[in-house]
Chains A and B, each alone.
Chain A
Amino acid sequence: MKASRIGPWIAVTLGALYFLVPLIGTFEFSLRMRRGTYSFDAYRIVLGDPNFQASFLYSVVLALATIVVGTLLVVPTAYWVQLRLPKLRPLVEFVTLLPLVIPAIVIVFGYLRLYNSQSILPLTDSSRGTDLLLTFGYVTLALPYLYRSVDTGLRAIDVRTLTEAAESLGASWSTILFKVIFPNIRSAILSGAFLTFAIVIGEFTFASLLNRPAFGPYLQLVGANRAYEPAALAIIAFVVTWACMGLIQVFGAARGPTQPK
């Protein structure tokens, strides 16, 4: 029953081809803007486009807001469930998984009906209100990943002992949370944060249906109207995603061995 290595090599080679060829194809295409020669013209045009800068900046700010709100929501909840309400864990876990069950387009459809100008909470009436709604929507989308990451981080440390030690030294709840728990699960929070960033930065459905000038709708607009710029944008988006995943590995590795599985 000696395993032959030809099969695995074929699988990995074909897989690598399927994943690399579109990247090479996109990169090659993005260089073709100037007739007869390769150039970075498409990148220069894209990066110099005020709409690119504005929408990218908008999405970066939105991603940071999502990370802050999401972390402040998820960490205390996961900490509290672990420490005081372990019976509630299955319910909380189920709720955090719901955004995977309910498609994003359905959730935003609900927002548009529930928070429109005729409702008691007319968030979509103003730009700021819609930005807030979009942030909350992104927190919802990020919930499954953020919660799982933080929960894994909390399970790897001894929450009870840390809390009791801090309590016996007279620490308040906010001190325990921000000076004891947060630093101890820093790598888990950062992993969740970078993943959230990668999800939010190019998100299309929420931003487009809520009519906000985010990077996702900008991408779609350029795609519908231009030839070479979309390819350059795809490469840029890939690099951003890669950077986020790379940072997760960097920060995850710092505490890697202490995390189960």
Chain B
Amino acid sequence: MAAGTIAISKPARRPSGSALAWIGVAPFFLFATLFLILPTAFLIIGAFQDADGHFTLVNLTDLSQPTILAAYKISLEISAASALGGALIGFALAHAAVSGGLPAWIRPTLMTFSGVASNFAGVPLAFAFLATLGRTGLVTWALMQWFGFSLYATGFNLLNFFGLTLTYLYFQIPLMVLILTPALDGLKREWREAASTLGASRGQYWRWVVLPVLWPSLLGSTLLLFANSFGAVATAYALTGSSLNIVTILLYAQIRGDVLHNQNLGYALALGMIIITGVSNVAYIWLRGRAERWSR
């Protein structure tokens, strides 16, 4: 991309050009500073202060309280499970649509539907799963009626780790489909044909051609999915109220009513979240850069 678009030499500009040029982006940076950078910085700084504003690391060590650790743990578990599940299933779906030899209408249908479903999150998603898999939901009822199978007798519960993961998959899988399809399009037909001509088996083609090309996309998308579910609030809150101790719901309660009885500990809780989503997103952006090498 860089080589093709060497700028045509500019005609002489007005003398005040460069100072003026910066004024053009000033509103954007002012906005970003006020509504993105400063609010976040305020929390990060607050995480390192005690109630009187003195520097301290106590808030960070206080994060090791059992309740907080448990909240982080279950959040990480749900995010990891829904990211891995979403990535695997999304990959299978995208691959089936791109190179599965299915009828042509499948792919645009899948893409449109993925666009809708990946945005169908939040509170309504929780309602949909309660209406389907809740105690009086359609599937729960149908399993009982038709197969005499009591879903809830197996220990199934929509309001725990498994239930929330299953619900999150509803937006994670489509998101994976949307991110990964362009990468799958980058797998050139010639590579497959070349591998085939050289006598490669299907397994060898996957092991030595597909995975080396795709792994940055696959890993990167999985990390994006991970961060996506780690920061989610609405679905979990609408589904479980405050009965499930995940970190976003704990933070929600802290913002609402200082349940930790320490404002600065609340900031530290937020800082922990920023670090987790930050690391996975930065890794995603880096991996995306690597992945784009193949699509040039």
Contact = CB atoms under 8 A, between A and B. Distances in A.
Interface of A: 1, 3, 5, 7-9, 11-12, 15, 18-19, 21-26, 28-30, 73-74, 76-77, 80-81, 84-86, 88, 92, 95, 97-114, 136-137, 139-140, 160, 164, 195, 198-199, 202-205, 209, 216, 219-220, 223-224, 230-231, 233-234, 237-238, 241-242, 244-246, 248-249, 261
Nearest to B256: A209
Contact of B277 (A26, A101, A238): A101
A183 B202 CA distance: 49
Provide the main secondary structure of the chain A interface. Answer: helix
A8 to B, nearest CB: 3
Given A11-B93, A106-B274, A219-B124, A1 B201 contact: yes
Contacts of A73: 27-28, 31
Contact of B255 (A95, A109, A219, A224): A109
Interface string B111-150: 0110111011011111111111100111100000000000
Interface of B: 7-8, 11, 17, 21-22, 24-25, 27-29, 31-32, 34-43, 46, 89, 92-93, 95-97, 99-102, 106, 110, 112-113, 115-117, 119-120, 122-133, 136-139, 169-170, 173-174, 182, 192, 195-196, 200-202, 205, 224, 227, 230-231, 233-234, 237-238, 241, 248, 251-252, 255-256, 266, 270, 273-274, 277-278, 281-282, 285
Contacts, number: 262
Given A8-B96, A139-B35, A241 B119 contact: yes
B233 A104 contact: yes
Given A84-B21, A102-B36, A204 B96 contact: no
Contacts of B230: 103
Contact of B233 (A11, A98, A100, A105): A105
Contact of A24 (B28, B115, B138, B201): B138
Provide the main secondary structure of the chain B interface. Answer: helix
Contacts of B248: 103, 105
A187 to B, nearest CB: 16
B27 A3 contact: no
Given A5-B101, A11-B92, A114-B38, A234 B116 contact: no
Contact of B40 (A11, A18, A106): A106
A95 B123 contact: no
B25 A77 contact: yes
Contact of B116 (A111, A164, A245): A245
Contacts of B274: 101-103, 106
Nearest to B18: A84
